[in-house]
Structure 1
């Protein structure tokens, strides 16, 4: 078990390429979903100093708050509502440069300014969502989408 992360002082892409194998090693062999999701959220927050990082788990027609790092959050989000519910419904990653401009945005924190939401799938079905918020506008891009999609694909096949 790792006691600390090696955090690259480099470009965003280099940080992700350093982080992802560490996260995989940290979770490999640990069967507890909550422990793994908690460590993944912590690793992402530590590496990138994101405002909020967490998971929502699909339960019937709602997303229910799972492990996260950051200020308190919305506990339940309906299917198709807000950025998280929309990502679930559309089964696709959503990069939102300005959350105030997103129709139906659910303001769990007024400090959140931009967001990326990535579905986690098992057997093609969305089973959870990774939600990452920033307190800066336009903080996420294609690099985040690429690497967070890669991470979530791994999480869906190895942690659930």
Structure 2
């Protein structure tokens, strides 16, 4: 299928995610496998994971990488801003982003994509990289499509 760090075709990756999640109904399993799939196949990333909404703030979910911040208020940092603005945040240099929350000091760029289920923000996909300007417009488009596949399965899960 793919070699580690060799994603060139997001459509194929998104098809793989769809097949991986089909027939399964556990939300934690969905998020765990999705983070593992991305971490394995994306190059130059040091954290891939999810935060989900709980009690009005983002709560750490399944991830791959170093230990991370457990809760993030909506509107704070890149993840919280993505939720409050309900839009993808592609940050070339996190050190110039006002209010950036540095969970991993090695992170230099980040992309955060809101996840919406049943017309409500469910959480975010958060990916950090140890190099500046890691995420391209092509990455954003492909990862947003990845999240749409995930949203479909989350809506069907228990």
Under a length normalisation based on structure 2, what TM-score does the superposition of the two structures give?
Answer: 0.92
1:21-70 CA distance string (max 9 Å, x none):
11110001110111111111001010013210000000122100000001
| Contact 1:8–1:18 (Cα < 8 Å) also in 2 | no
- SS of 1:31's partner is coil
| Residue of structure 2 aligned with 1:52, choices 26, 41, 47 | 47
1:130-155 CA distance string (max 9 Å, x none):
00000000000111110111111221
Measure, in 2, the Cα distance between the counterparts of 1:155 and 1:79: 22
Map 1:80-91 to 2 at 5 A: 80-91=75-86
Aligned residue pairs, count: 154
Measure, in 2, the Cα distance between the counterparts of 1:121 and 1:129: 9
| Contact 1:27–1:159 (Cα < 8 Å) also in 2 | no
Higher relative contact order (CA 8 A, sep 6+): 2
- SS of 2:40's partner is helix
Tell me which residue corresponds to 1:104: 99
Cα distance change on mapping 1:36 and 1:136 into 2, 3 Å: same
Root-mean-square deviation (Å): 1.6
**Structure 2 unmatched ranges of 5 or more:** none
Alignment pair present for 1:37 and 2:31: yes
Tell me which residue corresponds to 1:3: none
| Residue of structure 2 aligned with 1:144, choices 133, 139, 143 | 139
| Residue of structure 2 aligned with 1:66, choices 61, 68, 76 | 61
Measure, in 1, the Cα distance between the counterparts of 2:120 and 2:36: 25
**Structure 1 unmatched ranges of 5 or more:** 1-5
| Contact 2:4–2:40 (Cα < 8 Å) also in 1 | no
Under a length normalisation based on structure 1, what TM-score does the superposition of the two structures give?
Answer: 0.91
Deviation beyond 3 Å, 4+ runs, structure 1 = 8-13
Deviates more, 1:150-159 or 1:134-143: 150-159
